[in-house]
Amino acid sequence: MNRIEVLKTYKMYIGGKFPRTESGRYFTLKNTKGEEIANMCTGSRKDFRNAVVAARKAFEPWANKTAYNRSQILYRIAEMLEGRKAQFIDELMQMGSTKKQAENEVFTSIDRLIYYAGWADKYQQISSSVNPVSGAFFNFSVQEPTGVVSVIAPEENGLIGLVSTIAPIIVSGNTCIVLASESKALCSISFAEVINSSDVPGGVINILTGNAEELIPHFSTHMDVNSMLYCGNDKKAMKSIKENSTTNLKRIVVKSDINWMKNDNESPYFITKFTEVKTTWHPIEKIGASGSGY
């Protein structure tokens, strides 16, 4: 049958909605043969600003969900991704992967989501502590989410780069604004569709497409962003990010030269990069015959 193929309009993902960029700009993605495959939004600082507002609003309810529930939701993302793996394999191949590479990337992404889903209610148990103190106090330290995190996702990978950075950030209760890979932006918005159908509340994950160089100053200066993850090797960008972060003492995490496909690069320590330690002093009394303190 002769028919005209219906092509998808790739928009961005902000606050649980798919708006176009307010700037009206776009860039064209090409496949390895040099053919145009899609027009992507060139996100602007105002799109980022709107995303931060959405992420801030989503932060408290998300952080207040039980760890168990966040685990379920991450698992749900994996389920949805599994169901749409063919689409992602196809998109990765359009952006230059071989079939085998594409399959490998999609399967690793799904497994990585499951991996972090499993850590949701466990990472605190290995990273928190009961501290010995002198006096009648119960003293303990627990991990709490840092807040709103801005992310420059790895340029080299379309899907695994997004999954490997988003999952450990949101699993503890943070919310994030992610700038997807510019050259491999195609599946970032398809991944947003997966997120949108996975019980993730709007605003917890926001995905922008566009140019890193243009957006890094805003990602790093915004006073309502508490932490920033930069994946890349640009020394000049790293320097400016660190300088800009001093305005509100953002916690900066840099990941350079990482092969995200390797399982070495999934770790509970990646979760605790985006948490803060809260230490609590609690008065105690002797309970029962054993004289136990708490």
Stretch of 75-83, 136-144, 219-227, 232-240 contacting other proteins, by CB under 8 A: 219-227
Stretch of 7-15, 118-126, 180-188, 214-222 contacting other proteins, by CB under 8 A: 214-222
As measured in angstroms, the least distance from the Cβ of 222 to other proteins is: 4
Q: Is 223 in the site for other proteins (CB under 8 A)?
A: yes
As measured in angstroms, the least distance from the Cβ of 76 to other proteins is: 31
As measured in angstroms, the least distance from the Cβ of 20 to other proteins is: 16
As measured in angstroms, the least distance from the Cβ of 244 to other proteins is: 8
Give the chain's largest Cα–Cα span. Answer: 85
As measured in angstroms, the least distance from the Cβ of 60 to other proteins is: 12
- Name the β-bridge partners of 275: 145
Taking the C-alpha atoms of residue 204 and residue 162, their distance in angstroms, rounded to an integer, is: 14
- Using CB under 8 A, pick the residue from 176, 218, 253, 268 that binds other proteins: 218
Residue number with CB closer to other proteins (53 or 254): 53
Residue number with CB closer to other proteins (131 or 246): 246
Q: Is residue 70 packed enough to be buried (19+ CB in 10 Å), middle (13-18) or exposed (0-12)? A: buried
Stretch of 33-41, 85-93, 221-229, 283-291 contacting other proteins, by CB under 8 A: 221-229
Taking the C-alpha atoms of residue 199 and residue 231, their distance in angstroms, rounded to an integer, is: 27
Q: Is 221 in the site for other proteins (CB under 8 A)?
A: yes
Q: Is 71 in the site for other proteins (CB under 8 A)?
A: no
As measured in angstroms, the least distance from the Cβ of 220 to other proteins is: 10
Residue 24 Rama label (left phi>0; alpha psi -120 to 50; beta): left
Q: Which amino acid is at 122?
A: K
Q: Is 224 in the site for other proteins (CB under 8 A)?
A: yes
Cβ atoms of residues 294 and 287 within 8 Å: yes
Start-to-end C-alpha separation, the chain: 74
The CA angle 289-291-294, to the nearest 5 degrees, is 120
| Structure letter (DSSP) for residue 222 | -
Q: Which amino acid is at 201?
A: P
A 10 A CB-CB count for 102 gives 23
As measured in angstroms, the least distance from the Cβ of 214 to other proteins is: 15
Torsion sign over Cα 225, 182, 274, 195: positive
A 10 A CB-CB count for 109 gives 30
As measured in angstroms, the least distance from the Cβ of 49 to other proteins is: 5
DSSP string spanning 15-63?
Answer: TTB-PPPTT--EEEEE-TTS-EEEEEE---HHHHHHHHHHHHHHHHHHH
Tokens at 32, concatenated: 């390895």
Tokens at 270, concatenated: 């990646």
- Using CB under 8 A, pick the residue from 32, 98, 141, 248 that binds other proteins: 248
Task: State which of positions 33-52 bind other proteins (CB under 8 A).
Answer: 49, 52
Stretch of 58-66, 138-146, 168-176, 218-226 contacting other proteins, by CB under 8 A: 218-226
Stretch of 80-88, 151-159, 187-195, 217-225 contacting other proteins, by CB under 8 A: 217-225
Residue number with CB closer to other proteins (46 or 282): 46
The site for other proteins (CB under 8 A) is made up of 49, 52, 218, 221-224, 247-248
